[in-house]
Amino acid sequence: MLSIRFHGRGGQGAKTASRIVGTAAFLEGFTAQDSPIYGAERRGAPVAAFTRIAKKPIRERGLIARPDLVVVADASLIGDPSARVLDGVDERTVLFVNSPLTPDQLRARTSVSGRLTVLDLTDLALKQFGKRGAISALLGAVAGRLAGLRPESIREAIVRELTDLGLTAPVIERNQALAMQCFEAVQPVTLEPGPRAPVPSAQLRTPTYDPPTRGTAGITAGPNSAIRSVSGWRTFRPVLRPDLCNGCWLCFASCPEGAITIKPDGKPAVYYPHCKGCLDCVEVCPTDAMTVEREPEGANK
Amino acid sequence: MNQASQMMTGNLAAAWGARLADVDYVPAFPITPQTEIVETLSKWCAGGELNARFVTLDSEHSMMTAAGAASATGARVFTATSSQGLLHAFEVLYTVAGWRVPFVLVNVSRALASPITLEPDHNDVLAARDSGFLQIHAETCQEVVDSILMAYRIAEDPRVCLPVMVNLDGFVLSFTREPVVLPEPAMVHEFLPPFRPAHLGFKASAPHALGTAVVGGSIYTYFRHQIHLASMNGLAVYDEAAAAFERICGRRYAAIDGYRLDDAEDVLVMTNASASKGKAAVDAAREEGRRVGLLRLRLIRPWPAEAIRDALQGRRAVAVLDQNLAPGQGGILFQEIAACLYHEALRPRALCSFIGGLGGKNLSEGEFRAIFEQTAEAGVRGKGIGPVLLYTEAEHREMQQMQYLAHELKTGR
Ligand code: SF4
Ligand code: SF4
């Protein structure tokens, strides 16, 4: 059995990528299983998805604890402990990271080591489509290539899954074409599936009774989410061009994170530590005063 | 006969179950992780693929009432809910069971608040175990669609005439795609004849009353006991339905599902989708020379005591992995397993109770290993253990970090 774990941010297309690989494998006659896991829906929050491919019925379910391949849609996830990108990764696991950096640069700047292959899907998508969007087809094609699936089945799987999402034929064709470029461009690394060394027995621990002040789900520390930065979630950042801004405050009203404040001159200002990069403010801006810049890798921490 | 499979989620499989059963009425209310089921049915009703009336209600309480009332008119009814939604409808579950209305309710398991969460465990569905609904718990997406068809046949049998709940796990089944073969409509037609209930058929022109008031206890006792008898009849009716389903559709679902039990000394008892992982763990343990097997409970109500006894008597040790917790007691299914083995001369030397997978917590390879090791030791000692909580040192360290954030970390203001 081949186990592929996808990590992305809500909205990037990790779930659809897992389905593209699942469908492609299924079309080639394998048994496939795919599933996503996410919390309360929040764009930009870490999500994971899992695809299993086998020749026999699959008895595993749910999260993949020891992946053969990890596909990382956004390099900023590597440094986010809640994303658990490196959980269960061993010397046999292959990592694909969507990043402009080289494997060596990534190894130097992040905690990844071992077997790594890299391609800047975000840049390809920007150049080809001229705007930011989900990169599910590209991720799916790369993962499919690394998993040894055939280009025809991946092309067909992309059509099926993107059609399922309600995308139009021209959009699907563009995605398909770029996905196949990525399929060719990614540097393949041979996967090494097969049984892993047995894990030891779990170290169980039964918690003891705590007083209700501690043993009840609740928060008493006050609003400390204010000191948590979500800067690392951004692939793109909104940047204001004050000369174009008409002061309508639509961006202020639509920011889901409350990251935009209004200055005394009536113009908005983005507080970047609380900006997750969803770009809703850019979408609503009637004068294109909110512009988009790609975050340089590693600079937005 | 088209036996081609297609990739689908447990939720889509559930919607297909209703579509293939050609239901007449779908009262609906959304809740994660069930919503995809009613969304799909609403699309099919609007598009004409399913000739049913789809109605959104203001709550699950109204939804369940509508389901019972529509069923009382003789319509074939399907509805679905999850977790808090099932509990919101709780009063009505008992009420409609007393009406003896044979509709099918899908519950997508999700752990109960508080604290609130989205991922599965079985405290929701098992809370309803005494309502009079029959309960079938599914392990795979294929089983979801097949079980819904079986559920209608069992529910509508005049020897039963009770509503049936089909349970599937949230996320691990509801959002998981795997290959599913849809039965051909002709097969379903043969397996599931049209619904013609003798005691139902409310019409404006023929008014009658259901669930009328009784006082004094004896009348109540009689009717409540009738529900019990109807449910117990479900055992034989279930077996007949399973045999017919196998004959027509080629897949067999016994009330209990034994995996590598033949020569097993120790047996792990589980339910629902995580039983797949349990089976994988059995395979792994067998490779290391442990003679273990797994018993999955599929039919929970009526309780197939006879079959369970046959499967478990003479074993060295039995471990019950409850994906639920009854505070002040322990694991719900452990109690029922223990009760039905008590009178058995060849009862296992040790019964072990494990509580795991709460709130969707992953059942890890290491946890299964701990279960098999501790169960074997208990079997050798001849004394059971538990309830043992499947919760690890590492998880507790993370928990303590969360508590620091929640209670100690200050904002600096
Ligand atoms: S400032 Fe813009 S990009 Fe940042 S969180 Fe708010 S709406 Fe999203
Ligand atoms: S939406 Fe655009 S124009 Fe309106 S206040 Fe924001 S930046 Fe200025």
What digits encode the pLDDT tens for the residues B216-267? 999 999 999 999 999 999 999 999 999 999 999 999 999 999 999 999 999 9
Q: What is the pLDDT of residue A82?
A: 84
Share of chain A above pLDDT 70, in %: 97
Q: What is the pLDDT of residue B368?
A: 98
Q: State which residue of chain A sits closest to B175, comparing Cα positions.
A: A35
Give the distance from CA B276 to its chain's centroid: 15
- The edge-to-edge listing of strands for the beta sheet with A69-72 is A115-119, A94-98, A69-72, A2-9, A46-54, A31-37, B177-181, B5-9
- pLDDT bracket for residue A210 (50, 70, 90): very high
Distance CA A122, CA A294 (A): 9
Architecture of domain A214-294: 2-Layer Sandwich (3.30)
pLDDT at A196 over 80: yes
* Mean pLDDT of all residues belonging to chain A: 92
The CA A147 to ligand 1 mean position distance, Å, reads 36
Looking at beta carbons, which residues of chain A come within 8 Å of B177? 19, 22, 32-35
CB B300 within 8 A of CB B135: yes
Q: How many CB atoms lie within 10 A of CB B315?
A: 24
The CA A251 to ligand 2 mean position distance, Å, reads 5
Q: Does A223 touch chain B (CB under 8 A)?
A: yes
Q: Out of A103-112, A172-181, B180-189, pick the least confident.
A: A103-112
pLDDT at A40 over 80: no
Q: Where are the domains positioned within chain A?
A: 2-185, 214-294
Please indicate whether the domains covering A2-185 and A214-294 agree at the CATH topology level: no
Q: What is the pLDDT of residue A197?
A: 87
Q: What is the pLDDT of residue B412?
A: 52
Instruction: Name the pairing type of β-strands B266-271 and B256-259.
Output: unpaired
DSSP state of B326: B
Q: Which two three-digit tokens encode residue A96?
A: 């694909």
| Helix-helix angle B10-20:B35-47, to 10 degrees | 40
Q: What is the pLDDT of residue A301?
A: 41
Our mutation pick for probing the ligand 1 site, out of A251, A280, A292, counting the most ligand atoms within 8 A of Cβ, is A280
List, for residues A114-142, the tens digit of each pLDDT value: 899 999 999 999 888 876 777 999 999 99
Q: Does B172 touch chain A (CB under 8 A)?
A: yes
ipTM (interface pTM): 0.93
Q: What is the pLDDT of residue A41?
A: 64
Distance CA B82, CA B173 (A): 13
pLDDT at A76 over 90: no
Ranges in chain B, pLDDT < 70: 1-3, 411-413
Q: Do B410 and A222 touch (CB under 8 A)?
A: yes
Q: Is B348 exposed, middle or buried (0-12, 13-18, 19+ CB in 10 A)?
A: buried
Closest CA to A12 of A164, A110, A125, A128: A125
Closest CA to B20 of B74, B100, B80, B76: B76
CATH superfamily, domain at A2-185: Pyruvate-ferredoxin oxidoreductase, PFOR, domain III (3.40.920.10)
pLDDT at A299 over 50: no
Q: What is the pLDDT of residue A112?
A: 87
Q: What is the pLDDT of residue B411?
A: 64
Size of interface A-B (CB pairs under 8 A): 127
Q: Which domains does chain B have, with CATH numbers?
A: 5-183+212-249 (3.40.50.970), 256-395 (3.40.50.920)
